[in-house]
Structure formats: structure tokens, C-alpha cells
Structure 1
């Protein structure tokens, strides 16, 4: 089968298209004919440094999420999955390929009416966005600032927070990205690449930080006493680095959620997929790359020029 190999840690060029043996569905596993592979910013960091949540080492087929059709199941797996459209995590490897053998207990069946590309775009980013919103608590009637609002998670946070009754301020880099955020329902949009962007935002109650660095620190200064900040990403290359003492001085809670269990992750994915089926949530798929161009997809994400979700089209 066609696949993309992580040959070493380094720049995007270490992702090399090639061939690999077809996987088999072992005990408790399902074999998925992959249509789309998910890419996250975390995967680009892992590719470059080897640091992250994955324990695999090169040479390996990377990729932690796929969507496709189950063609076979192994002993002990539910035979009713055969022929079903599913999305699933892969355990950190095997996603950038035409077929993937995955834990059958971890797959989520895609509801009728939800295209597979939509489902894959929602799988990781959707569960992250929904978990973030649940973690900070009720936001109805509050001013919520979403940093990196035009990103995969940010575009979904804008929609979820708005649906929860918040006044949403979306911070994105550039006019084009800002228009995407506005179209998703943000009440206000600001370009955080401009020096005076904090003054244009004013006081907020909640910050969702997917950027880190100076941008996140500036956003922290906008939070009113009693407000909350949740940092989940570091697109800038560094975390916000705000200490608990400084947060206590300003009466701001730095929200940190617990690591979700596999069952909770599946529930989060299932919830966002059903919201998509009802028309209440839609991902922005800004870029699609063929499987063999995975290196180009990684380079695009790292350049911060992408909008919304980036997918690999496998079939």
C-alpha cells in the first residue's frame, strides 16, 4: 500500500512517500480503508523534535487519526463494524497510509449525512474545542476571546462559544482569516499581528489561548478579575508562561483540565459529529493535500499560513 514514512526527526522533508506492507486486523482490531488522514499541529512539532505525546521512533508511518470504511475485523471485534464509515485515533502511528489497523473499541461511527472529510476534520479539533469549552465552564453573557480563531480548533471554539451564549471576540492573523472568523459568527474580530490589537479588544472574561508567547501574555492582561484563561496550544513556539502568583494577583484562574479517558474522548467526538449532523457545527477545511504531499502539508501548517483544518486526501 501507499504510505508516508517519517524517516528521521527534522524538517518537513523527512516525510517521504513510499510503500508499506498491508496491515492485518489482529485480535480486537478493525482494518480501515482510509479516505482522509488528520494532521494536527502537535504532529508537526513531534516530526521536528521527537518531543510530544507519541512514543514511536523513526522509521515509522506517522499519523494519529483517520477516517474511512471498515473492511475487516479481527477476532473479538464487533463484526457489525464491517462496511461502516468511521473515524478513529491510531495510537500515534499508521495514519498516513491507505490502510490502518486500529483498536476496534476506539472507533466512532460517522452519522448519516456527515461527509467523511467533515468527520475527520472534527475528530481531533472538535473534541479539543468541546473539551476546552466544558473545562472553562459556563460562558453565557460573557466576553470570550479566542486566539488563533481561524485555526482548526479556533474556528470550532468560535461556533461553540457563540452557541453557548457568549459574546465572542476572534483574534486571527490578517484580514482574510478575520473574514473567515466573522463568517462563523464572531461578534468582533481583531488582527493580533497589529501592535494595538489589545486596545481594540478591551476587557474579556475568558481567553482560549492556542498561540502562546507574547500574544497570550497580552491577552492575559485583558482578563477581568474573576476571569479564566485556558492555554491549549503554542503556535508561536512557546507557552504563555504565566505563573500562578501573577494570576492570583489579578484574580484570574488559569484553567487546566484533567487528561480525558478514552471513553470521554469517544463521547466528545460523537457529540461534535452529531452536532455536525444537525447543522450546528461545521469545520473549516482550508487545505487538502494528496497523501504523497504530506511534507507540503506540514510545511504549510508550520508557516501559519493555513486556515482552519488541513487534511490529507488518501482516496
Structure 2
């Protein structure tokens, strides 16, 4: 089968088209003929080497949509030909066929209608992450105020909508460049601020109280400043290191003395240690898409062979919404 892979870490140019054998579905797995593969920053990090070197050829891609092509042993609730969105904890989505754990294969025929394959190509990583960081890590409660960093990306654009669906009262966002602010506002943000000076803007908008929840995939100075805008008993939930800053060394006493909390979320750990929770989050988020409460904004669809171009745009921060590869 045709796939996109890399044999060494590096820039987008290390991605190349390869021919590899079709994978087989093992026990508890499904084989999917891929229609669309979502492009995510985690795959940029994978290529750069943040998760280690390839062994010996890695095929990136952590989410995809398509039709079930085969079922492994002990798989129930799915049939060959069913349309699904799949989360791929070990990658493999940039290919004509991908193998996914059956529990992370989400049916697209829901009680509220069928989700199309194009939309579904960008949901199986983004939606469980956005839902999980809000409902799980941040413990979002009805009436909470929320600040979300990097709001123009796939998770950020979904997180605002999911926060509203979970009962958030006020939702603010930040962007790294002014041209993304107007785009982000379409997802229900009350206000969108430049990230470089959000601290004062949030304090002004909240009358000095601060916000109950901050979602941060950026890291570094953004994470430090986020602690400063927390209301009493507020939580910073972080789920990435997009800016690739060194790890922070934080004193704990200021958290105690200011009634602040810091919590983390990574979908990989949830998939390994609480897979049923991940499935529950994914199914709940897909119901929100099917109901129309959450819109997945697919802004760019590129051919599979253009994966390097998609990575280049994402690494440079020029992407908005969701980018897919048409397989």
C-alpha cells in the first residue's frame, strides 16, 4: 500500500512516499481503508524527534476516517463496510490502510444522524482531547469561565464549542497572530486576545477576578502567565508544548497561597491506562458533532503526497482550523 513515512528525524523534507505491505488486524483491532487523515501538531513533534527516532520507518498520523475493511478476533459492534473515525495511538494514519484498536474506532452512524467522512477525518484525536482536557483534567463545571490558548487550531476551535456545551458561561481565547483573531471568533469566543499581552486583557475583562479554567497547549511563558489569571480555585490544564520550551521548574507555595491548581492531559496516557474513559469522551463529543453543537472546520484538504507541505504550514504556525490529507 501507499503511505507517507520517514526514516530519520528532521524537517518536513524527511517525509516521503513509500510502498509498504498492507497491515493486518489482530485480536481486538480493526483494519480501516482510510479516506481522510487528520494532520496534528503531535505528528510534527513525532517527525522532529520529540518522541524518539523512527524504528526503522515510521508512518505518522494519529486520526483518520474511512470504512472498516476487516475485523480482528473478538471485535463486536462493527461490521465490514461501516464508516468510522479512528484514533491511532501508534500512528499509521498517513496511509491507504490503518489498524486501530477497536475501542478507538468510533461509528459515524449515530442516533442523531451520520457524520460524513470528510468531517470525521479530523475528529478522533481532536475531539477526545478537547473533551477530555475540559471534562477530565480541568473538571469544568457549569457557570465556569474559560481561557483557551491557540484558539485557531483544531483543538482550540473545538474546545470553545465543547466548553459551551458543557456549561461554560464565558469563553475567552488567545492567538499568536492578529490575522487569526477574526477567524477564531466564529467558534463562540466572547473575546480573543493577542497571546503576548493576554494577562492584562483577561484581568480587565474579568474585573480582576480571573478565570476558572485555562487550557494551554503552548507552554513556557504562556503557562507561567496563565497561572496569574486564575480565579480562586482556578485550574490551568495543559496538554501540549507547541512552543517547545524547556520544562518549567515551578515553586509550589504560590499555588497554595493563591488557591491555584495545575493539571495535565495527554491522550496517549489515557488510551493506555483508561481506554474506556477515552472511548466515552470520544463518543460524547461525536454526539455533539452529530447534533450540530460542535462544528469541525475543515479549512484545507491536501493529497496524501503533500503531507510535507501540510507539516511545513503547521510548524510555521500558518494553519487555521483543520487540515486533512485525502487518501
Q: TM-score, normalised by structure 2?
A: 0.87
Any residues of structure 2 matched to 1:1-315 within 5 Å, and which? 1-51=1-51, 57-78=55-76, 80-111=78-109, 112-135=113-136, 136-163=138-165, 164-193=167-196, 196-202=197-203, 203-238=210-245, 241-256=249-264, 259-260=269-270, 261-314=274-327
* 1:255 alignment partner, SS class: strand
Contact 1:162–1:186 (8 Å) recurs in 2: no
Q: Which moved more, 1:22-31 or 1:118-127?
A: 22-31
* 1:121 alignment partner, SS class: coil
Q: Which moved more, 1:127-136 or 1:88-97?
A: 88-97
1:56 positional shift: 5.7
Contact 1:88–1:108 (8 Å) recurs in 2: yes
1:28 positional shift: 4.1
- Structure 2 residue ranges without an equivalent (≥5): 204-209
Q: How many residues align?
A: 310
Over aligned residues, Cα RMSD in angstroms? Answer: 2.2
Contact 1:9–1:50 (8 Å) recurs in 2: no
What is the rounded CA distance, in whole Å, between the counterparts of 1:126 and 1:90 in structure 2? 13
Q: Which moved more, 1:93-102 or 1:10-19?
A: 93-102
Seen in structure 2, the aligned counterparts of structure 1 residues 300 and 279 have a Cα distance that, compared at 3 Å, is: same
Q: TM-score, normalised by structure 1?
A: 0.90
String of CA shifts for 1:281-308, please: whole Å, max 9, x gaps: 1122233221111111111111111112
1:176 positional shift: 3.0
1:173 positional shift: 2.2
What is the rounded CA distance, in whole Å, between the counterparts of 1:305 and 1:240 in structure 2? 26
Query: What is the aligned partner in structure 1 of residue 206 from structure 2?
Result: none
Seen in structure 2, the aligned counterparts of structure 1 residues 242 and 155 have a Cα distance that, compared at 3 Å, is: farther
* 2:132 alignment partner, SS class: helix
* 2:114 alignment partner, SS class: coil
